[in-house]
Amino acid sequence: MEKRTLGTTGLTIAPLMFGGNVLGWTADEQMSFKLLDAFTDAGFNAVDTADTYSRWAPGNSPGTSERVIGKWLSQSGKRDKIVLATKVGGVISEDKKGLRKAYILQAVEDSLQRLQTDYIDLYQSHYDDPETPIEETLEAFDILVRAGKVRHIGTSNMTLPRIVVTAAISADKGYPAYQTLQPEYNLYDREKYETEYATYAAQHNLGVIPYFSLASGFLTGKYRSEADLAGSSRTKFLGKYFNERGTRILSALDEVAAKHQVKPGMVAIAWVKNRPTITAPIASATNLQQLDELIRAISLQLDLDDMELLNNASAF
């Protein structure tokens, strides 16, 4: 299995991270264990989650995904075989959110307890918190790194100007620096990352682990028109894709998929994996067949003609 270095962390991961948002939600506990076992048995070693997953699901509470992962780690004994990433800063409740020092120091203890581990490999700020001084947030991360509870830090959903300012403060104060970036990035949603973040990520050797690699399922080809969304919970996510450009992208995916005798979603994952500056896309599966397709997507070899066709079809 190919391994890639995650920014300047020294951690090496296979070029696919399992997205833990589905664990304990659309994949029940039993299926979650099967997915995590199959994922790691295939040679993959990076799992991403967050303390808020999956608070949005009826009957679920924040930390559900972390609890499932923790139980799996306890039963499987695979803690030393995976790079474990989670996040802090999303809204759990009115008094549990943001990046205040006191909150981070409490939130990490809650995550460690749920995950049944004494350290987190990559602790990420889930959302920016403009109301909290950057120095306060970094001081909290510094305490955690020095204590060995967190190995490295990263960020998601933060504007580039804020990332630049944060990096300067880290350097000036001797605090840990964000070493990874988790942006939205896929064949359709390219422009923001490529025009705002990619150059900076390359210059500063950030590990880039994008989410929504399949554009909420649009790039699987399952949804070809708004009529296909009837009764689907994805309506609010997919409406923006049904236009001329979206159709052009799906046509290109169909062409490349037919050439390699694979599914369109596999091609979409392989494209993200092959893009400059990308360390590993994050993707989820709710059953073993979907996971098998993700695994095979990583070994799919797209040639220059494939990449050019996909790049041109998705040009912005």
User: Which residue numbers are catalytic?
Assistant: 53
CB-based contacts of 274: which residues, under 8 Å, 6+ apart? Answer: 302, 307
Which residue reads 């390219």 in tokens? 190
Burial of 305 per CB tally in 10 Å (0-12, 13-18, 19+)? exposed
Three-class SS state of 122: strand
Q: Is the dihedral of CA 143, 148, 150, 152 positive or negative?
A: positive
Any alpha helices (H) in the chain, and if so which ranges?
Answer: 29-41, 64-76, 101-115, 134-147, 160-173, 191-192, 198-203, 235-238, 244-260, 264-274, 288-299, 304-313
* Chain length of the chain: 316
Q: How many CB atoms lie within 10 A of CB 100?
A: 18
Residue 181 φ then ψ, to 5°: -130, 135
